[in-house]
Amino acid sequence: MGKYFLAIDIGASSGRHILGSLENGKIVLEEVHRFWNGMDDIDGTLCWDVERLFREIIEGMRKCREIGKIPESVGIDTWGVDYVLLDQEDNMIGQAIGYRDHRTDGMDEEVYKIIKEDDLYARTGIQKAIFNTIYQLMAVKKKDPACLEKAAAMLMIPDYFHYKLCGNKVQEYSEATTGQLVNPGTKDWDYELIEMLGFPKDMFLKMHMPGTAIGTLTDEVKNMVGYDCQVVLPPTHDTASAVMAVPSNDKNVCYISSGTWSLMGVEMEEANCSMQSKEANFTNEGGYDGKITYLANIMGLWMIQSVRNKLAPDMSYGELCDQASKEEIASLVNCQDERFLSPDDMVCAIQEYCKETSQQVPETLPELASVIYNSLAKCYAEKLQEIEKITGVKYDRIHIIGGGSNAVYLNELTAKYTGVPVYAGPGEATAIGNVLTQMIQSGEFTDLAQARECVAKSFAIRVYEGR
């Protein structure tokens, strides 16, 4: 019997349990559980039901036992920036509020009263996004300070789930960096910044690097799932896990982790916290082995998901891609415009943008999809030029990983707009990166370079030639 490693990958719209193993020198994945995710509107506040999500985590782990494939270890990755607060008795304080909630409106200005925006970027290297943890915590400080006064620990969402599994409260590096409160040089919390902002310093716990084993299952969890295993930290920020699965060890490679968000960038040894980098809206997030995943956050397939869910929720994305490719509408939108972050109606938001900019207004779902796909590809091309200008490196290929690597029309457009070959796949990049971390920790691979070589021969990669 081979060894199994369980990646629990929870995105903003769904979660899944994927077992990874090595067979004949190749990585084999098996999905054992899938579940829905989304924010709930609780009295006008958008929240994550973390207790329901934890029940799904347990259910999927139990299914591993039922099929007779007990994992050696388990690791959880999720989206970034969101967190829970725990009191002295480890009870959750309030709700786990989601990043699309509007409580952070105006909180950037509150932060900038304490530290200038340029100085904040120079300290953290993190792109401004109004939902970053720094602004969320400022919202709590301003609107519900009693919550911060009671807080003994702040755990990012995947840290909280790992704590629920093994009983150890630790904070993982890659996820922590998304909050805009980490020093990219020391790769630890910027405690001086935290104190300047008036956040309780003691609730920011010791940081650990991906690949760290932090314990085994609690007795309660063992009884629920029917076995024991190690809990190993992957890069718990899903983007950082996905970047691990780029099937190449070449240095001059640009990646797009394509899903609800499109994260486009390159791996670097050191952060670039220059004003040129800030003005181009790039971020220096943490990655495996202390690397920097230097990237731009682009709105991504969230826009496609939103219009499809409203107009034709039963249509497959493959069919939608195919229909969009037949449209001739030339309208484009700025995917980075904040109006597309959390609109009440994405269709109306796109149509209003086109009206304001005197372009043809898309009416049908295929027209809307065509506008979105072309706009995304154009944005990718612009970002590639910016990355090359900032780094001084010419990138001769783009690796598209994640679910969006299956969007054939978008891949074709990306190759067309950027003029460089696009290598699409693997689709399950986040889960693969999670599994790779556990496999390296277990000794299945000696390092990430060897693991990436295995990814390249284990999964189909489709090439789209640039012009």
Amino acid of residue 137: L
CA 31 from chain center: how many Å?
20
Query: Which one of the listed residues 82, 101, 159, 238 is annotated catalytic?
Result: 238
Sign of the alpha-carbon dihedral angle for 228, 214, 164, 2: negative
Q: How far apart are CA 296 and CA 93, in angstroms?
A: 33
Q: Mark whether 144 is an active-site residue.
A: no
- For residues 208 and 171, the answer to whether their CB atoms sit within 8 Å is yes
Q: Residue 447 burial (CB < 10 Å; 0-12/13-18/19+)?
A: exposed
Residues assigned a catalytic role = 238
